[in-house]
Structure 1
């Protein structure tokens, strides 16, 4: 659930007047992981110090999908999920600059004048030390700092954030972990449990006949989460949370040729979820997909999965304040 008053804005020139003059954190922020949170935290602190609005400027679609459309990119946080996360951190608005080849062809000076100065009217910018922008990435840290002096805004550059093993936390590293089913390690880098959001759709209702009714969700084809069975928390549209066990994959016992589907058996819930946009947070990988010799064997294994998921979820604790808002009552 998104914090009241938070705004998603599609065009810098549509920024409401009360939000002008703020501090802006710039980046793709896919995943809003702990490294991103270091940048975002600096921006929030600066905005509080100046008593001005706190903004996030991000780009949609992800630049890599524009420059390499033939190479699918696992997007960790689609814009609605990203917006919810930055809202929970305390920002006032997220500006989603549309990224196209035409936009990418603008000079670094055009970006500073058009987006930062005239569009957002910023007083300060915070970004990672390696942020580059403008045609052929001509704008870098030195250019940004010089532009700040010229146009009257401050600049803070944030070093790469490293985990407890001194490795840099990156979106690509988290994508790889999720592709391997390592949702616990991914959560450690994200600072919260990996969460997906989608509309609950109708299915064949086989689970209901087996005593395990499921909420079915089609995820983006870009999601390369490892197929298998997970212990999860399920959040309804009204914010109510339930524990559950979810299968993500092609259902080899009943429909191995189907498209990947996320099917969540929501514990201790009865009701109609069809049409609701719900969220699923992943706490642990239980096992891979298997093809069983008949439905009796499948049901027996589902009962074991339920017991294991209940035991795992009974002992979980929030990783951070953000995790508390995402995956805990």
Structure 2
């Protein structure tokens, strides 16, 4: 997959000339609804002999319109998003810098530069996609800006059989904020994933027989709520079962920062400085402040058994 980064004003020499079916969206999470958009574009691309192109932005566009924006939390950081685009069959991924130049751009100019300019013969997006003020620049008004230069396909919201609401990033974040990774994964269509660098912690786990890897996570990465989870961790080219803790280490005192610590089952290696990929599968329990270290050890033993049991059932 070719990755092309564009900033205003971009040069036309940066762009491939082959016609494409272009899927548009911010695609945070690349969940089942987003996959429906991209797969629709892929089907059209293959039928018409076009390249499959996907366009996203380098940051959440709404941040540019907020006077005092809070730091954004993303379900998928850009590198992970691009991995998922490639897995879905994208030939080209456009990453557009969403800055003040783009924020002030009118809908006609946006269509001319970022749809026609990207050699789109077909533009595919969700039915609520906007490219400016939503009352003016939406999928219903797009034909007036397209002026017959490309075809337009608006993809309906995806609603799962077990739900009455659409599959969306907002619902996934809400599930993660409640620790409900199982439900979040149903909407994503794959296990929620984060990456982090293995760093030095307090090494308390080693003293009680449960040595953990401590992960340094990008501050813009959304994390599940504090709790203990069954995970799978890819490290050094191997995958291990993991018992992950997201919390503040209340048993050992107050005022600690939020940490992600993982006890890897059947693992004993020095991996400081290595990158670990964590797939979050199942919530086990909330965080608890134990009265003693002995109580903590007993609970950790129960947690380890629960992780093994969970994945044994999954394997069946």
Matches within 5 A, 1:70-149: 70-118=69-117, 120-134=118-132, 138-149=136-147
Count how many residue pairs are aligned between Structure 1 and Structure 2: 310
- Corresponding residue of 1:175: 173
Among 295, 298, 306, which residue is 2:296 paired with? 298
Deviation at 1:255, TM superposition (A): 4.6
Asked whether 1:49 is paired with 2:36, we answer: no
Give yes or no for contact 1:81–1:197 (8 Å, CA) kept in 2. no
- Corresponding residue of 1:323: none
- Corresponding residue of 2:212: 214
Give the whole-Å Cα distance in 1 for the aligned partners of 2:31 and 2:315. 18
Change (3 A) 1:167 1:204: same
Among 237, 243, 246, which residue is 1:245 paired with? 243
Name the structure with the higher helix share: 1
Change (3 A) 1:65 1:236: farther
Matches within 5 A, 1:221-232: 221=219, 223=222, 225-232=224-231
Cα RMSD (Å) of the superposition?
Answer: 2.2
Deviation at 1:50, TM superposition (A): 1.8
Gaps of 5+ in 1: 1-5, 319-329
Give yes or no for contact 1:218–1:260 (8 Å, CA) kept in 2. no
Change (3 A) 1:256 1:44: farther
Deviation at 1:19, TM superposition (A): 6.7
Give the whole-Å Cα distance in 1 for the aligned partners of 2:275 and 2:176. 22
Give yes or no for contact 2:123–2:150 (8 Å, CA) kept in 1. yes
3-state SS in 1 of match to 2:124: strand
Give the whole-Å Cα distance in 1 for the aligned partners of 2:82 and 2:53. 11
Give yes or no for contact 1:10–1:96 (8 Å, CA) kept in 2. yes
- Corresponding residue of 1:11: 6
3-state SS in 1 of match to 2:291: coil
3-state SS in 2 of match to 1:142: coil
Deviation at 1:64, TM superposition (A): 2.7
- Corresponding residue of 1:3: none
- Corresponding residue of 1:322: none
- Corresponding residue of 2:153: 156
- For residues 64-92 of structure 1, what are the alpha-carbon distances to aligned partners after superposition, in whole Å with 9 as ceiling and x for unaligned? 33333434543111111111112111112
Give the whole-Å Cα distance in 1 for the aligned partners of 2:284 and 2:166. 28
Give yes or no for contact 2:22–2:120 (8 Å, CA) kept in 1. yes
Gaps of 5+ in 2: none
- Corresponding residue of 1:35: 33
Change (3 A) 1:267 1:138: same
3-state SS in 1 of match to 2:120: coil
3-state SS in 2 of match to 1:123: strand
- Corresponding residue of 2:164: 166
Asked whether 1:284 is paired with 2:279, we answer: no
Give the whole-Å Cα distance in 2 for the aligned partners of 1:11 and 1:275. 32
